[in-house]
Amino acid sequence: MRNPRGLFLVFVVLSALAVPALWAQGAVVYISGEGGTYSTSHSVATHNETMEMARTLLKSCPEVSLTVDKASAAKPDYLMLLNRQEEHYFGGAVSQVMVLRPDESVMFASKEGTVSRATKDACKAIMSDWKDRRRTARSTDRENSNWNITKP
């Protein structure tokens, strides 16, 4: 028969290594760039900027995982929605981005000129919030731990 204390020690060591690895994972972000229609004298077109958002996020925010399936098994930590408004008089466009938490409360909203700039700003907001959430969760875990040696 194997030593039960040895097996327990192996379990404790493996668990201690696995917990930081789970925390090291980045946020899962659902992205949708649907929205924004414009018309010309000849046609009506719609813009879906999801691919541009994905390209920008993969490049400038590699810590996050992206999904376009809001109901996926890996529940998203954030929802990032983009609306592109065409300005008819000046020939330009404005990108509006909004980031929601899982409870769909608004965490961040911005209005920028380009999809890339709006997406980068949203990335900064997500990363800041994600780091704060991780820090809060770690301190709560430490306070509630039975193994906390700082408390009698």
Rounded to 10 deg, the angle between the 115-144 and 50-60 helix axes is 60
Judge whether 145 lies within some domain.
Answer: no
CATH number for the domain including 51?
3.40.50.10070
Mean pLDDT check: name the lowest of 32-41, 70-79, 132-141. Answer: 32-41
For the cut 70, the answer to whether the pLDDT of residue 64 exceeds it is yes
Task: Give the pLDDT of residue 16.
Answer: 43
Whether 22 has a pLDDT exceeding 60, the answer reads no
Asked if the model's pLDDT at residue 56 lies above 60, the reply is: yes
Residue 57 has pLDDT above 90, yes or no: yes
Instruction: Report yes or no on 50 lying in a domain.
Output: yes
Domain limits for position 41: 27-135
Specify the pTM.
0.66
Q: Is the pLDDT of residue 149 over 90?
A: no
| 116 found inside a domain | yes
Assess if residue 12 is contained within a domain.
no
Mean pLDDT comparison of 26-35, 64-73, 125-134, highest-scoring range: 125-134
- pLDDT of residue 89 exceeding 50, the answer is yes
Give how far Cα 94 sits from Cα of 39, 80, 86, 122, 129, Å: 15, 16, 6, 15, 25
**Sheet bearing 65-67, strands edge to edge:** 65-67, 28-32, 78-86, 93-100, 106-112
What's the number of domains the chain is made of?
A: 1
Does residue 12 surpass a pLDDT of 70?
Answer: no
Classify residue 85: in a domain, yes or no: yes
